[in-house]
Each structure stands twice: as structure tokens, then as C-alpha cells.
Amino acid sequence: MIAKENDNDAGHIEVKTTTCYMCACRCGIRVTLRDGEVRYIQGNPEHPLNKGVMCAKGASGIMKQYSPARLTQPLRRKQGSERGTGEFEPISWEEAFSTLSERLGKIRAEDPSKFALFTGRDQMQALTGMFSKQFGTPNYAAHGGFCSVNMAAGMIYTIGGSFWEFGGPDLERAKLFVMIGTAEDHHSNPMKIALSKFKRKGGRFISINPIRTGYSAIADEWVPIKPGTDGALLLAFIHELLRLGLYDREFLIDYSNAAELVNQDETSDEFGLFMRTDAPKEEGCFDQQNKYWWDRDKNQAVPVREEGADPFLLGEFELKDGTKVKPSFQLLKEQVEKYTPEWAEGITGISAEDIRRIAYEMGVTARDQKIELPIPWTDVWGKDHESLSGNPVAFHSMRGLAAHSNGFHSIRTLGILMSILGTIDRPGGFRHRAPFPRPIPPCAKPPKGWDDVKPNTPLNGMPLGWPADPEDLFVDDKGEPIRIDKAFSWEHPLSVHGLMHNAITNAWRGDPYPIDTLLIFMSNMAWNSAMNTGDVRNMLADKNEDGEYKIPFLVVADAFQSEMTAFADLVLPDTTYLERHDVMSMLDRPISEYEGPVDSVRVPILPPTGECKPFQDVLIELGTRLGLPAFVTAEGKRKYRDYPDFIVNFETEPGSGIGFLSGWRGKGGEDFMRGEPNPKQWEMYEKNNSVFHYDLPKSYQYMRNWNKGYLTWAQRHSLTRYVEPINIHIYSEVLQKFRLAAQGKTKGKQPPERLRKRIETYFSPLPFYFEPLESQLTDTRTYPLNALTQRPMAMYHSWDSQNAWLRQIHAHNYLFVNPKLAKEQGIKDGDWIWAESSHGKLRCMCRFSEAVEPGTVWTWNAIGKASGAWGLSPKANESQKGFLLNHIISEELPEHEAGEHISNSDPITGQAAWFDVRVRIYKAEDGEPEQTSPQFSPLKAYPGMNGKQTKKRWQAYFAGMFSKKK
């Protein structure tokens, strides 16, 4: 009966803390168990990230843990069965390990590039990356390339930090907040906490988004922009701010390259590069300060920061030797001259009047509502400042900018906009999170050629890195790609996160070469993270004439019966987040706060289900069996018992004191960031809510690009090598270097001819607006609409359809269409319609919405499922009424002058251009089946899965009784 005051007397209760992984946000959770079953998962009030709050997914963790889609045994594709049909037989772990180590050992001894490892939404890239490097394969990447690499690269190449996990808006102090193209993000709960506080204290919130849902719903103003045109809008903002002088001059001079003089001699090989003094070049991957300003008093070029100098930001000057030079800010001003609000109105659909008004709101708020904090600090040049000031205009942006082929430049424009408003790592503006800021670009570099890939040898270089100039590209003698995803080649020079979205297609085509074994971890590449899903599925199962699969051996490590697992030759069942150790490491993407570094762990709350084994343990075991140097002693003996042991004892170099976890280092836990391994480190994390949180002194918390205190602290704690300023790149010399190479002005690596024009065009040192590539290459009269997806707050990609609670909220999806548009086509609310792009078409249901820009249609991401997958019945809504937009998004662009198999990505970073797809819609014929198309033959349950649960008519979860009742 209800109102029996509580259920405390029932069962044996235990409470444990760990970290949520129903999404990448990584909130702290408290798990209450009753008789060993999960009774309640709540936010941990003592966790710095979520401070006790939850989200819909996190609170449904129970249903993930007990999902019928769970894999519980290692599986091998049945002999003679076809890939993709999901016919498996259980095998032992020993068999799995020996198969793998035999095969991989052979590959490693012959040609390590024949092994490729791609990982999805995991948070252990430090480990997977290290494994690949140790193995010696160049073919490793995580999901960043199809996710938001534009956001990372565009910002990091400009301000040395980024949104995403790396930084964010200071909503505690901002007065005006502009959110651009964000639906959910990796800072799910913290963003919600901050946003509501911000609104409650009277902050003004503007959302720029073609769609008004979620966060945009509570915006004070909605700016319904046409997709892919934000670059134009942001450039027009800058145009207006520069025209009216609404920029922070002092900030730009002191902390950016705005006043630095750029060579304007068109005949020179150094055209567009900064003029350099002949001060000796210092060693290190930081910005050299040997550049010039034009001093107004002396009216001549002076070395930057010369005592007493007051540089011009605008103007055109001539050096003594006759070289014409301009401050880069002048170049910016010229660049944006043509980008008037009227011009932008025609592109973005936002009225010039609104563009001006919003620009003024930004400019005036930044200028007139200055924040002054009584916090003294010292800059890296040694100057003391009595206080810290800030301009309270904050921005946040994610994939709405990133997932377009012009995203890199849009995002760089945003970085510049934020910079001219003077809001970088200052109160009320953008704030970094450790280990950011990094030098521009960060120091890690990819390998440089085939010489760096050798049998039985670790890769020479990092599998992923940050090219600073063409010499850092990973290409062969002809300038052609070495990696299977063609990352770091001239096709996508700054593809700092790889191009996972092209890995399967390239491997299938054997371009640049065929591979042998593909290991996919935690990514549903046969479904929602594939572009062109239908064809990619065929490629996965495609055979050569000799009957061999084009991708000979496919290994999938997953916890659930995803669409991807069906194509595996070998399935490695992972544990769930409640069953394993994990680390959210400083070497990867920790959960740091503005105030200082934070890293965290997961600890097992429950024993593994069935034969499940944490994938980290699998990697350590494999690494050990393969004799990879990091995992074995000099004598080739096992070095680490398992993953927890590895985490405690591993050091980046012997004695470096740097490991995966930064908290409680040193023998007794007395150190942090660096220190000897601490055998009790796990226990100490466990005791401390699974999180290590270090608050920097207040004076180190801001202006970190230039904060001597912070940089020295960071150096001392091994976060960075240099105590050098990280000046903002208003003007990007890095990009100009690639352009010069394309123009044949440099001696080093040169792009292949077909790509010269592309490089020259897109590697503009100052941002410019161009129409997304797909629109350039498609007939936009035939395909007049943009089609988008959004993250639903209550679902995580493909994971949550197995979740009995969450799937009730989103059981299937509709294509949302503005009624005006629909009525023109004779489409009624709820009709079955076709959405067709130049690559394919799909049938789905239409739902009217006024909250979408009329040239855009959209749907929730990844709700649609293949029939029978995810432990669902073949008749489940997800497969019958739900659909996946990916079927009509291509992974490659139509053939054009740059080549025939160019990735459908940003030409600079290789960021997958999900949101560029152009479509048309029309009503389905009468008599067509009321079912989404395409359909695939239903998957059957695999051995070890709880198929009975799938068929259950009803389920009543009651912790402590649930499994007993079954």
C-alpha cells in the first residue's frame, strides 16, 4: 500500500557511488541496491559536475542494466553463415583471445597497417590510442571525425581551447548568452543547471538554430537561421562590430595577433605570413614572439610588445625595405567588408535589422557591462594586474556549426567574434577547462610517412595529432594518404580526429589499400554512425571474386545487440558501466571544471553479467599476448594483471609520474597530477565520490592563455611543457602555409594536382563564407530543403531503444515539416511521405511543426532501428515507424574536380558533413505500406541473449524481486 512511510525494511540495501555513462557527460551518481538489484540511481549531490541532478537517461540506467539486448558471451559467426545475418555460436574467451592474438600477431609482424581500430563514443581514447600506437598501425581513430572535430579544430587553431569538453560559457557571470546550433552536447546536465540559473538572474538568452526545441525553447529570442549559413551571420556580426568600433582593442592587442604585421608582398614566397624579426628561433611547439607591430608614436615597425609601444590595429604600412605590410586586424576588416548584414540576410534568412540589433547587443553588453573581479594576477610577460576583468557576453556552440562542410570556418569566425568582444577565458565569457588551453596548434603530431610504420614496432608519432604546416602531413611520396581513412592527407589536412566515417568504405574499396582486420569498439557503424547506411551494410558483407570478404575479419566489441554486431565475425561482449572500472583521464577528455582539473572513475557496482569482460581488460590481455612493449616487461612478461592494475601502475615513461589518473598519486596518495603510482588509488577515488577535483587558486582561474601563475603551475604539474603565451590566432598563419604550398610557393610537401585548387580555396588564413559543399555540387532546385537531426534529450544515439522506459518517450520518429511547406506539397499532418536526397530515399511519417525554419525538415537522431536489433521485437515501432536519416546522407561527395571519392566532409578537418544533406519531400502513394522504408530482414536473438524477456507482454520492475520473478 502506498503511504506506508517507506520501503526501508524491505531487502538488503547498499549505496555506492560511481560515474554515470548513459551519456558522455559523466555525472556523478549514487546507486542504491536492494538485494543486489538496482533500486535507485540518483545524482550524487557531492559531485562537482551535476551536483545531484540527473537526466532522463541517467535515471533509466536500471533498464539498460537489465536490457534483453545485452550480450553475455563471446560469439563467433557460425561457419558457413553469411555476415550480417547474425548467426552466432558462443565461444570461450580463451578461444577469442587466441584467435585474435594469432591473427593480429601475424599482421603486426608483416604489415601493421592491415589492422585498423576505430572506436566510438567511448571515453578511453588514451588507452585505445596507446594500444594502436604500440601495435604500430596508423589506422586508429575515435569518433571525433564524424562527431565534432570542426568544433575542436576550429576553436583550438584559433584560441587554443574549445567548447565541447574543453571549455564553455561562464554563465555565472554572463549577461548575454548566445547559443548556436546546440541541442544536447556533452555537458548535458551542467549546461541545464547553468542555463536555468542564468535565466533566473535575468540574463538574456539568444538561440541561433533552425529549430526551436529543447534549450532554444526557453530562449528569450530565437533566431531561425537557414542551416549551413552561420558563417555568413557571424561574419556580418563582425562586420558590424568593426564598423562601429565595438571591439575590445586592448584585449586584441595584448592577447591576439591582431596587431601583428602580415607580409603583403604578393610576389613573395612569404606572402601572407607574419613578418619575423631575426631574433633566434626558440625550440618548442609554441608561437614564437618574433613578430612586428606598427607603433603609432614611432610610426615604424617595432618588435611586438616593445616597451611603450602602442600599435595600430588598422592601416597599411611599408617597411624600410619596401615590403608592404598590414596588421592582421586590417586584413580581417577588409575580409569582412563585403559581409554586410544585407548580404547575410539573403543567405541566412535573418533580417539585416535583426543582425544589426543582435550585433549591437553583443558589442554594447561586452563594452558597458564590464566585470571587474578583485583578483590580482600576473601575465606571462611578467606584468602584474590588480584585477581581472571580463566582458559578459558568452557563447556556446556545437554540431549545428560543426557538422557542416563549412563548419571549420564558421567556427573560426565564432572564435574570432568571441575574441574581438574580448571574452576569452575571462569572467562572463568563454572559460577553458584543463588540460586546456593548449599551444596553437597543440604539440602532438601525426607520423610523417611510411617510414614511421614498421612491422613489430610501435608507430613513430601519435596516431592523431595537430599539423602545424604541410610537413606534418601523413602522406606518401606522391602526397597520397597513408591512413585507411585518409586523415592527415591533402584531402583533409587538419583531420585531427581522423575520418572514421570513411574507414569502412575505403577499406571495402581497398583505397588506399585493403586491410585484414577491423576492430570496432562501441560504435554502431552499420547503422547510426554510418553515413550512407544501406550501402555501408552491403560493403561490410561484400565479397571479392574469390569468395573472401572484402574486409576479411571484423571484430566488434559491444555490450548490446546493435546493428553492427550482426556483421561481426567475432563479438566481444563488454560489461556495462555499472560493472566495470573506467577512467575519465587527464590524458583524454576529463570532466574538468573552469576552476580546475577534475578527473573521475567508474567502479563496479555490480558483478559482470554472464561472461562479459571489460573491453579494457581485453585490450590489456591482447597487448600482453602480442608482447606490445607498453604491456610487457623487458623480458616480455606480463606487466599488468588487469585494467585496474594497469591504471594504478602505468606511467607514460618510466618514472614520469604521469599516469591515467591525476588524483591521489604518490605512494600514500599525497600527490596529484604527477607522482609515483599509489597502490590504493582506486580506493581513494572510491572514497571520494569517484572524482578527483582540484581547485586552482583564484588568480590562476582566468586568462590562462597568458597567466604566468597558471602556466607555471601547469608546467610544474606536467599539463604543459611551456610557460609561453598562447596568443589568439585572429589570422591563421597555419592555414596560410597550406595555401602557399598549394600555390607552389613552398619547397616541402606539395598537394597532388587535383587538390591544389581545393587547398588554395579553403585554406584561407581569415575566415570566409562558402556554401556547403553538397549544396555546391547538387541541384538545389531539385533538392531545395535541408534535412537535420537533433539529439533528443531523453535518448543517447542508438543505445536507448533497448531501454523499456526511455523507448516509451521516443518509440519512433517523425520528419518535422513546417506546415507552410507541407501544404504546398499537399502533405497533411501525419501523412506517410518520402524524403529523397541525391543519394537515396526513405519513407517516413510527417509531423507538422511551426518551430522549424520553413526550408528545413528534421527528425530526432538515431531513433529508427533495424528490425529485430536491440532486443526488440521485429514489429517494434523503432523499425516499423521509426527511420534513420543516415540512409540518405552520403559519405562521399559526387565526383568533382578534387577527385571521385572525396569524403563528404569539411575540406579542412574531415568533419563529417551530416547536416549538409539536401532533400525534397513528397507524399507517399495511396496503397503504399504504412511502414518506413528501407527495411532489413529481422535479426534474431543471439545465443546468450535473454530472448524471453523480449517477448514478455509485461514487465514490472521491482528491485530485489525483478530477477526472482522471471
Partner 1 sequence: MQLALLIDLNVCVGCHACVTSCKEWNTSGAAGPMADFNPYGKDPTGTFFNRVQTFEIGAFPKVETVHFPKSCLHCEEPPCVPVCPTGASYKREEDGIVLVDYDKCIGCKYCSWACPYGARELDEKQKVMKKCTLCVDRLYDQNLPEAERLPSCVMACPTSARLYGDIHDPDSEVSVQIRENGGYQLMPEWGTKPSNHYLPRRKTRIHLHQDELERVDNPLKKEGLQPQPPSDQKTLDETTSW
Partner 2 sequence: MHPAFSVIFLTTLIGVGQGLFLALFTGQVYALANLLPAQDSQSFYAIGSVVAIVFLIAGLIASVFHLGHPERAWRAATQWRTSWLSREVLALPITMGLIFAYGLTHYMGWTEPFFIIAKGTLPVDASLIIGTLATIATFALFICTAMIYAGIKFIQEWHTPLTVFNYILLGGASGFTLAAAFSAYVGADLVGFYGMWAVILTITGLISRAAVLWRNKHLQHKSNLQTAIGVRHNNIQQKAQGAMGGSFNTREFFHGSPQAVVKMARYGFLSLVFIVPVVLLGASYSMESSYLPLLAFVVQYVGLMMERWHFFTEAKHPQNLYYQSIA
Ligand X SMILES: Nc1nc2c(c(=O)[nH]1)N[C@H]1C(S)=C(S)[C@@H](COP(=O)(O)OP(=O)(O)OC[C@H]3O[C@@H](n4cnc5c(=O)[nH]c(N)nc54)[C@H](O)[C@@H]3O)O[C@H]1N2
Taking CB under 6 A as the rule, does residue 57 contact ligand SF4?
yes
**Residue 227 touches which of ligand X, partner 2, Mo ion, none (Cβ within 5-8 Å per kind):** ligand X
Contacting range for partner 1; rule: CB under 8 A; set: 41-49, 676-684, 751-759, 889-897: 41-49
Question: 46: how many CB neighbours lie within 10 A of its CB?
Answer: 14
What does the DSSP 8-state code read for residue 931?
A: S
Binding residues for partner 1 restricted to 3-22, rule: CB under 8 A: 3-8
Nearest to 915 by CA among 394, 140, 211, 355: 211
Taking CB under 6 A as the rule, does residue 399 contact ligand X?
yes
Residues 809, 825, 840, 933: which binds partner 2 (CB under 8 A)? Answer: 809
Binding residues for ligand SF4 restricted to 173-212, rule: CB under 6 A: 188-189
> CA-to-CA distance for 418 and 424, rounded, in angstroms?
7
Tell me whether the omega of the peptide bond preceding residue 792 falls within 30 degrees of 0, making it cis: no
Q: What are 372's strand-pairing partners? A: 389
Residues 17, 19, 132, 148: which binds ligand X (CB under 6 A)? Answer: 148
The CA radius of gyration of the chain, in Å to the nearest whole number, is 27
Residues 408, 848, 858, 914: which binds partner 2 (CB under 8 A)? Answer: 848
Contact 101, 560 (CB under 8 A): no
Taking CB under 8 A as the rule, does residue 300 contact partner 1?
no
Contacting range for partner 1; rule: CB under 8 A; set: 267-275, 278-286, 317-325, 356-364: 356-364
Taking CB under 8 A as the rule, does residue 417 contact partner 1?
no
What does the DSSP 8-state code read for residue 694?
A: -
Residues 273, 309, 364, 684: which binds partner 1 (CB under 8 A)? Answer: 364
CA angle 523, 23, 141 (to 5 degrees): 35
Q: Residues 81, 85, 90, 93: is their CA dihedral positive or negative?
A: positive
Residues 217, 318, 476, 636: which binds partner 1 (CB under 8 A)? Answer: 217
Taking CB under 8 A as the rule, does residue 158 contact partner 2?
no
Taking CB under 5 A as the rule, does residue 147 contact Mo ion?
yes
Taking CB under 6 A as the rule, does residue 494 contact ligand X?
no
Q: 240 is written with which cell numbers?
A: 558590424
Q: Which is nearer to partner 2, 183 or 246 (CB)?
A: 183
How far apart, in Å, do the first and last CA atoms of the chain sit?
23
Taking CB under 8 A as the rule, does residue 634 contact partner 1?
no
Question: 438: how many CB neighbours lie within 10 A of its CB?
Answer: 22
Encoded amino acid at 173, one letter: R
What would the 3-class secondary structure string for 492-545 be? CCCCCCCCHHHHHHHHHHCCCCCCCEEEEECCCCCCCCCCCHHHHHHHHCCECC
Binding residues for partner 1 restricted to 196-215, rule: CB under 8 A: 196, 199-200, 202-205, 212-215
CA angle 868, 536, 913 (to 5 degrees): 110
CA angle 747, 752, 757 (to 5 degrees): 95
**Residue 528 touches which of partner 2, ligand X, ligand SF4, none (Cβ within 5-8 Å per kind):** ligand X
CA angle 270, 271, 273 (to 5 degrees): 70
Per-residue binder mask for partner 1 (CB under 8 A), 827-866, x = binder: ----------------------xxxxxx------------
CA angle 474, 479, 485 (to 5 degrees): 50
State in angstroms the smallest separation of the CB of 853 from partner 1: 8
Binding residues for partner 2 restricted to 779-808, rule: CB under 8 A: 808
Cα dihedral angle (615, 619, 621, 622), rounded to 10 degrees? 130
CA angle 129, 130, 132 (to 5 degrees): 65
Question: 364: how many CB neighbours lie within 10 A of its CB?
Answer: 14
Nearest to 99 by CA among 588, 836, 576, 626: 626
Binding residues for partner 1 restricted to 874-903, rule: CB under 8 A: 875-877, 880
Contact 421, 393 (CB under 8 A): yes
Residues 847, 901, 923, 940: which binds partner 2 (CB under 8 A)? Answer: 847
Residues 16, 36, 46, 52: which binds partner 1 (CB under 8 A)? Answer: 52
**Residue 147 touches which of Mo ion, partner 1, ligand SF4, none (Cβ within 5-8 Å per kind):** Mo ion
Q: 640 is written with which cell numbers?
A: 599488468
Residues 294, 527, 615, 816: which binds partner 2 (CB under 8 A)? Answer: 816
Contact 259, 293 (CB under 8 A): yes
Contacting range for partner 2; rule: CB under 8 A; set: 138-146, 183-191, 259-267, 841-849: 841-849
Contacting range for ligand X; rule: CB under 6 A; set: 36-44, 179-187, 424-432, 631-639: 179-187
Binding residues for partner 1 restricted to 762-821, rule: CB under 8 A: 793-794, 802, 804-809, 811, 818, 820
Q: Residues 140, 145, 148, 154: is their CA dihedral positive or negative?
A: positive
State in angstroms the smallest separation of the CB of 536 from Mo ion: 18
Residues 20, 23, 55, 647: which binds partner 1 (CB under 8 A)? Answer: 55
Q: Which residues contact 669 (CB under 8 A, 6 or more apart)?
A: 678, 680, 681, 684
> CA-to-CA distance for 342 and 320, rounded, in angstroms?
41
Packing angle of the helix pair 230-244, 352-368 (nearest 10 deg)? 60
Taking CB under 6 A as the rule, does residue 526 contact ligand X?
no
Q: Which residues contact 824 (CB under 8 A, 6 or more apart)?
A: none
Per-residue binder mask for partner 2 (CB under 8 A), 862-901, x = binder: ---------------x------------------------
State in angstroms the smallest separation of the CB of 63 from partner 2: 15
State in angstroms the smallest separation of the CB of 18 from ligand SF4: 11
Contacting range for partner 1; rule: CB under 8 A; set: 184-192, 370-378, 607-615, 752-760: 184-192
Q: Which is nearer to partner 1, 106 or 357 (CB)?
A: 357
Taking CB under 5 A as the rule, does residue 530 contact Mo ion?
no
Taking CB under 6 A as the rule, does residue 62 contact ligand SF4?
no
Residues that bind partner 2 (CB under 8 A): 808-812, 814, 816, 847-850, 877
Residues that bind ligand X (CB under 6 A): 23-24, 120-121, 143, 146-148, 180-186, 188, 208-211, 225, 227-228, 230, 398-400, 404, 521-524, 528-529, 557-560, 562, 564, 574, 576-577, 615, 788-791, 793, 795-799, 861-862, 885-886, 889, 914-915
Residues that bind ligand SF4 (CB under 6 A): 20, 22-23, 25-27, 50, 54-55, 57-58, 188-189
